[in-house]
Amino acid sequence: MLFLLPLMLVFTFTLKGIAEYYQSYLIKFIGQKILTDLQIKMYEHLLFADILFIQSQSSGRLISRFTNDISMLRGAVTNLLVGCAKHFLTVLFLIILMFKMDAVLSCVVFIVFPLAIYPIQKLGRKIRKISGHAQEDLANYTSRLDETFQSIKIVKSFLGEQNESNRALLISTNILKFLKKSAKLDALISPIMEILCGMAVAGIIWYGGYLAITGKTTPGALFAFITAFVSAYRPFKSLVSLNVNLQEGIAATKRIFNVLDTEPAIKDMLNAKAISLINPQIVFDKVSLKFHNKVALKLINLQLEKGKTTAFVGRSGSGKTSLANLLVRFYDSTQGQILIDNHDIKDIKISSLRQQISLVTQDITLFDISVADNIAYGNPHASRQEIIRAAEYADAHEFICHLPEGYDTIIGHQGATLSGGQRQRVAIARAFLKDAAILIWDEATSSLDQNSEKKILDSLTNIRKNKTTLIVTHRLSSIKDVDHIVVMQGGIIIEQGTHLELLANKSEYFKLYNRELEEG
């Protein structure tokens, strides 16, 4: 028996340790899994959000939702789950035990604790508000960093390092102020609980002593009651302190669901369908567009034929790019309709519509992956031979072959290792490889020299037979041979025709073309 008792104690503590390990592990894993799913859901929600919403938010602030807010929520959930699992049953068991020992004395003790509800609730609301402000400033800080490093060349060339440092310091100081306030409020919880504990102990001694003196209880029973109370107090205090985590979690959750609750303005209609274009003819029928009560397009009537190339020209802000954005349904028209192959584009599933369109913009976006993977972004199952052929059409094959790893070269963030012209050619190759029925080139050759531009336009001429092509450009010399030219001004079409017809009109196109010749 002398040896059996120690072995049983060792076994009991070992079993307790194993149980606590799995309890802690499972609770933390479940909490992390819930938040990982939430993070993925938020990412997918933003991917399918409309362009206007994304453009209204800074990338740094959106990133802050995924990092700072999720991190705070993760900490809150983990602490709450582990804390409740660890302390709640202990407190509950000891409270039940105390009431079984002496219900009246227990009531005397616990009548004190409702007094804590008001100050702790008030502190909790203040902590939640402060936490929200701190997270907002943290988002501003992340946004500031993102903007600074995205514009690092400008910062350095204009000697803006100290200015940016001062801005970051100002935001950091504000964050520190909020955290200091939160720490003060958090620290108040402990003395409140200690005062209440002192009052409860005083009540036990006063009333329990009276019971012991009058013989209604024994000193041993009173001592056992005090022991149970002291044992319950520490885990109870730990549970109360979790209120801080709860309030921080609520503040973070509110910010996260501000994103998740945003309904996309551009989405599939109820009866939207997938289509395969047979005749990619495009018709703009009395199409108008407004942004913030400002007219971007007004009553556009236009027909673009299959196998033809139409160029859109005009001064900045004339509405050229807005037409292209409407076709891809980055925005929806406020009036009129756009038909492709006699289908209203709003009746086509967005994924199906965009599958039929290859878009190249002036603001080239490349990813920190290989050249081949960038070219195949819209057609990930393309063979290496198809990738090379698209690069040849885009006059990119030669320079790609001279890269350190050829087509397998990782080109860095936004193609940082490539020149502007090289980046543009990779983007054009990506559009060629997608092999869509509609091509939209929005200033797609603005960074290219004339020889490269001519080669690419010749390639476009060779492959456009069954495609409808739109070119938005300021470089009029590159569109002399297109089938149709549309001149825009102030959101309306002011003239259209071939290059020679428009020169003969001696109107806006004539002025733009001559100005380009004069500027060389």
Over residues 122-149, the pLDDT tens digits come to 777 787 788 777 777 777 777 777 777 7
Does 443 score more than 70 pLDDT?
A: yes
Adjacency order of strands within the sheet including 309-314: 357-360, 438-442, 468-472, 309-314, 484-489, 492-497
Give the residue-averaged pLDDT of 306-335: 89
> Mean per-residue pLDDT for 480-499?
90
Q: Measuring CA to CA, which residue among 400, 440, 435 is closest to residue 421? A: 400
pLDDT digits (tens, 9 = 90+) for 64-107: 787 778 877 887 777 777 777 777 877 788 788 888 888 887 78
What is the per-residue pLDDT for 335?
Answer: 92
Query: Quick one: average pLDDT of 14-39?
Result: 76
Name every residue whose Cβ is closer than 8 Å to that of residue 64 and which is 6 or more positions away in sequence: 135, 138, 139, 142, 143
Instruction: Please report, for residues 54, 304, 320, 421, the alpha-carbon distance to residue 298 in angstroms, rounded to integers and kept in the order given.
Output: 25, 18, 12, 35
Residue 1 has pLDDT above 70, yes or no: no
Tell me the per-residue pLDDT of 48-58, one tens digit each, with 9 for 90 and over.
Answer: 888 778 877 77
Token output for 519: 């500027």
Does 486 have pLDDT greater than 90?
yes
Q: Which of 15-24, 89-98, 295-304 has the lowest mean pLDDT?
A: 15-24
Asked whether the predicted pLDDT for residue 326 surpasses 60, the reply is yes
How confident is the model at residue 375, as a pLDDT? 92
Alpha carbons 200 and 217: distance in angstroms, whole number? 18
Check pLDDT > 60 for residue 234: yes
Q: What is the pTM of this model?
A: 0.72
CATH code that applies to domain 282-518 = 3.40.50.300
Q: In whole angstroms, what is the distance from residue 69 CA to residue 257 CA?
A: 11
- What was the pLDDT predicted at 22? 75
pLDDT given for residue 26 in this prediction: 77
Looking at residue 413, its pLDDT comes to 81
Task: Tell me which CATH code domain 4-260 carries.
Answer: 1.20.1560.10
Query: What are the domain boundaries of the chain?
Result: 4-260, 282-518
Q: What is the pLDDT, as a whole number, of residue 384?
A: 93
Query: How many Cβ atoms from other residues are within 10 Å of residue 367's Cβ?
Result: 14
What is the pLDDT at residue 9? 62
What does the mean pLDDT of the chain come to? 82
Range 460-470 average pLDDT = 80
Q: Give pLDDT tens digits for 393-440.
A: 888 899 999 999 999 999 888 888 888 888 888 988 998 898 888 999
Tell which wins on pLDDT, 385 or 365.
385
Residue 495's pLDDT is what? 92
* pLDDT at position 161 over 60: yes
Does residue 401 or residue 8 have the better pLDDT?
401
* 19 residue type, one letter: A
Q: What's residue 187's pLDDT?
A: 77
In this predicted structure, what is the pLDDT of residue 484? 92
CA atoms within 13 A on the CB side of 492: 3
The pLDDT of residue 202 is 80
The mean per-residue pLDDT over the stretch 253-269 comes to: 83
